[in-house]
Amino acid sequence: MSQTDHVRETLKSAGLRPTRQRLALGGLLFNGHDRHFTAEQLHDEARRGGFKVSVATVYNTLHQFTGAGLLREVVVDGSKTHFDTNTSNHHHFLFADGSLMDIPAGQMQVLGLPEPPEGSAVVRVDILVRLGRAA
Amino acid sequence: MSQTDHVRETLKSAGLRPTRQRLALGGLLFNGHDRHFTAEQLHDEARRGGFKVSVATVYNTLHQFTGAGLLREVVVDGSKTHFDTNTSNHHHFLFADGSLMDIPAGQMQVLGLPEPPEGSAVVRVDILVRLGRAA
DNA sequence: GTGTTTGCAAAGTGTTTGCAATTTA
DNA sequence: TAAATTGCAAACACTTTGCAAACAC
């Protein structure tokens, strides 16, 4: 199965029409490698690769992908929104330069988490490990 | 010691001049209760209390307070910046309505955190427990 | 064909900045 | 009086929206 077919298949199973733009952006994202990126980075990458996409479409597409469970948003600071192609349960290292690295949740465990207040339930636990230069 | 004197003292020990604006905003914040708020909320609160401060000054002041270690920023989503008067080591519950509640770090422990990559060191670990309505 | 998607530019948020006027020490 | 701080409005960065044209099925 070609890479294009794989993306086409991914979109179809997510209920998204395989438009030219979605195929192009999906081709950059769903290639087997986990990656972290912002809308701007993906837009730049697409244009450098010769694909003409508007910023608005990149944003729309990323939100559609996220809504379809193909991407996850990662909140690391107030400015840009970061997306992650790894949608499984995991956490992150945040490097001093702003880049991210996944930490598989499997090897981690949080002890002592208090019960959430009456009427609420835990939806997700996000752990962000902020890193600096070694001492 | 009056509340005003307490704020004045707090500012002085942080190396910040006790200007009218800082005293007013500090008075709203450093009253013994831990609170979470955004710049806009604090600005509204100040004006409702009859104090005229510009948005720019609220932002400047919050950043000065943060730089002086009197406040902490809490990242919960890409939109607004949240500030926290609790500067000790702790984590957060994020309710469905966007409000926050502190979780003392003392009772918590994270197991299985991998070593940070060569050349970097852990600066801080932030845990955000996202809550929804109970099932 | 018919409903969906795109692109553009304009509007919207939240936040920062430049600079003259004001205030503090 | 000298240096720090404020307020305003304009500038900013990122993101969303409205709507006609283009496209997928």
pLDDT at residue number A76: 92
pLDDT at residue number A89: 93
Cα B134 to Cα A100: distance, rounded to the nearest angstrom: 32
Cα B81 to Cα B94: distance, rounded to the nearest angstrom: 14
CB neighbourhood size of A107 (10 A): 10
pLDDT at residue number A28: 94
**Strand pairing category for A82-84 and B82-84:** unpaired
Contacting residues of B for A39, CB less than 8 Å apart: none
**Tens digits of residue pLDDT in A87-100:** 999 999 999 989 99
CA distance, residue B15 to nearest chain A CA (Å): 26
What is the Cα B26 distance to its own chain's centre?
Answer: 12
pLDDT at residue number B77: 87
Q: Please name the member of B112, B114, B130 whose beta carbon is closest to the beta carbon of A124.
A: B130
Cross-strand pairs, B103: B91
pLDDT at residue number A1: 56
pLDDT at residue number A79: 85
pLDDT at residue number A7: 92
Residue numbers in B 5-64, CB below 7 Å of strand D: 16-17, 19-22, 52-57, 60-61
Q: What is the pLDDT along chain B (135 residues), one digit of tens a residue?
A: 567 788 999 999 898 999 999 999 999 999 888 999 999 999 999 999 999 899 999 999 999 999 999 999 999 987 899 999 999 999 999 999 899 999 999 889 999 999 999 999 999 999 999 999 887
Q: Which residues contact A135 (CB under 8 A, 6 or more apart)?
A: B121
Q: Do B75 and A75 touch (CB under 8 A)?
A: yes
What DSSP string describes B52-90?
Answer: ---HHHHHHHHHHHHHTTS-EEE--SSSSPEEES--SSE
Q: Do A129 and B116 touch (CB under 8 A)?
A: yes
Cα A23 to Cα A8: distance, rounded to the nearest angstrom: 7
Å: B67 CA to D24 C1': 54
CB neighbourhood size of B44 (10 A): 13
Give the nucleotide at minimum CA-to-C1' distance from A81.
D14
**Tens digits of residue pLDDT in A6-55:** 999 999 999 899 999 999 999 999 988 899 999 999 999 999 988 989 99
Q: Which residues contact B48 (CB under 8 A, 6 or more apart)?
A: none
What is the Cα A65 distance to its own chain's centre?
Answer: 9
The one-letter amino acid code at B4 reads T
Cα A130 to Cα B116: distance, rounded to the nearest angstrom: 10
pLDDT at residue number B101: 95
Residue A109, CB-side half-sphere exposure with 13 Å CA sphere: 5
pLDDT at residue number B1: 55
Give the global pTM: 0.90
For chain A, what is the mean pLDDT?
A: 92
Cα B85 to Cα B68: distance, rounded to the nearest angstrom: 12
Q: Please name the member of B79, B121, B132 whose beta carbon is closest to the beta carbon of A121.
A: B132
CB B39 within 8 A of CB B82: no
Residue A17, CB-side half-sphere exposure with 13 Å CA sphere: 3
Confidence band of A72 (pLDDT split at 50, 70, 90)? very high
pLDDT at residue number B2: 67
Å: A85 CA to C3 C1': 30
